[in-house]
Structure 1
């Protein structure tokens, strides 16, 4: 006896018909729609970011670009000239000092002010006043900060007046012209203008820590110092690492503050990698070597950015 398939079974085993052209077009449109929304941003990134980077990399491998009718391919000769230049080594050392001290001081001042503003001892009006005062340096542009502190630190400025009045010095101090004081002076200015970034971020992190953790630590007889070390710092650790990496990247690329206060002087004591590259390009008009220095800075920044992105992914 042979078995016959029922109409229902035949319907189930019937092969599916291929989608019509209208359905395929609709699916293609749905897939391309997100890229259509992203296309303006992608075009701007290619024009304003990718294209200049490619051009600078190309310039760094050539000789006498822009200043000569013809340029020759020299390979990595410009990179060797930059990396063996004592002025570049000096600029790297000053940049590391400038950025390292600034980041540490930003964290110390930021966590101190954030703890004070988060303390229940202060009233709401007092906290509002202190928040306004402490965040003021962050509201000024770099140009205003540079001009302000050049006036304050000038030989006839208020800082020298206070120093002489209090008896710390018998005469005016050349804060921005003395080779031994210029680098600490610009570092102090950068610390003053940048600590509110840490303060605001850490204050937001402190307000997000559960009070239950502190109550549990109090039950375990942990004092304020132990609570700070074993509760506050571990809870703020992801924020601290992220901000430290970002602040270090931004500080190593600081140009306007240095250029408008000391110009990299005196005697290259405040020369940074950014001002070193700028002088190569627009003082000596050696755009090839300046491009090589810019590429070196780009590579170092990408390394720092890699660690930042890696930390963000592990945090997520």
Structure 2
């Protein structure tokens, strides 16, 4: 009887709580696994950002032996600069036209590749051709189009044969055409991103929706506006925000085609900041410009995260 009571009493006793230090060590285990990544992020991202913000508040950093705290003077100088406003306007035009064109061309090609009216062999050939620009690096794209748009290039030869232009035209050196030319190159290089994403979205739309709409007498245009676009809206919004972020930070394509010229007609925020730092060696103003670009990028990233949360 006593042995039974002893067993029951032992079972009734609550489990002992582990010591505090053991619980603390257990809670720190996940952070130990994340520590290499966190250290890399701090060294490669947090530290440089903090240094650039500090440089933007100083005068004559790096190049001078002694620098002084000037507060917001560098930001005021940048924001009131005519060159900065020109770069901002060019960047806005470049981004707006590129994103809209990427969306329309990508949607059109995606619907073509998803159409049952096109044979499987034709879709395979077109899919290979349409995705080729996405496979090329920025350097190859810049060199390719510089050769095509050269006064002795293929574009001038074709347009001269058609009577559109006369003589040899330097497209990337013409102040009136240079911005449109680099925008066209960026559109050609970036539309496959939209095309592939929208094509995946189209293939995920249930066919029952189209069949039910067709039974109700809805035409092709009505089905597009009532079914296709609403189903693709989350994908289009996410891709558009990503494209805005990427296009606004485009540097290599501009630098290797026009270098921001001629006459600052293709100057972007990225090339403007680069020239301040490595052409004029004004690292304080360049840091202020970089911080402004960082703030704009963070705003765009905030809206992208919000769109993703709404989509989920």
- Cα RMSD for the two superposed structures: 1.8
Work out the CA distance in 2 between the residues paired with 1:112 and 1:223. Answer: 18
Work out the CA distance in 1 between the residues paired with 2:27 and 2:18. Answer: 17
User: C-alpha displacement at 1:35, in angstroms?
Assistant: 1.3
Which residue in the other structure is 2:17 paired with? 19
Work out the CA distance in 2 between the residues paired with 1:17 and 1:235. Answer: 54
Which residue in the other structure is 2:271 paired with? 275
Q: How does 1:291-306 map to 2 (within 5 A)?
A: 291-306=287-302
Cα deviation code 1:160-208 (max 9, x no counterpart): 0001000111212221011000000000000000000000000000000
Which residue in the other structure is 2:93 paired with? 97
* Runs of 4+ off more than 3 Å: 10-18, 24-30
User: C-alpha displacement at 1:33, in angstroms?
Assistant: 2.1
Cα deviation code 1:209-233 (max 9, x no counterpart): 0001101110111111111111000
1:34 aligns with 2:30: yes
TM-score (norm 2): 0.95
Pick one of 42, 56, 59 that aligns with 1:63: 59
Moved more, 182-191 or 31-40: 31-40
Cα deviation code 1:135-178 (max 9, x no counterpart): 00000000000000000001000000001000111212221011
Which residue in the other structure is 2:123 paired with? 127
Work out the CA distance in 1 between the residues paired with 2:307 and 2:15. Answer: 49
Give the secondary structure class of the aligned counterpart of 1:176: helix
Q: How does 1:1-316 map to 2 (within 5 A)?
A: 11=9, 16=14, 18-21=16-19, 26-316=22-312
Which residue in the other structure is 1:4 paired with? none
Work out the CA distance in 2 between the residues paired with 1:217 and 1:135. Answer: 32
Aligned length: 308
Work out the CA distance in 2 between the residues paired with 1:309 and 1:28. Answer: 33
Cα deviation code 1:77-102 (max 9, x no counterpart): 00000000010000000000000000
Which residue in the other structure is 1:3 paired with? none
User: C-alpha displacement at 1:272, in angstroms?
Assistant: 0.2
User: C-alpha displacement at 1:124, in angstroms?
Assistant: 2.0
Give the secondary structure class of the aligned counterpart of 1:240: helix
Gapped regions of structure 2 (runs ≥ 5): none
Work out the CA distance in 2 between the residues paired with 1:144 and 1:252. Answer: 20
Work out the CA distance in 2 between the residues paired with 1:294 and 1:64. Answer: 16
Work out the CA distance in 1 between the residues paired with 2:59 and 2:14. Answer: 65
Work out the CA distance in 1 between the residues paired with 2:205 and 2:215. Answer: 17
User: C-alpha displacement at 1:19, in angstroms?
Assistant: 2.5
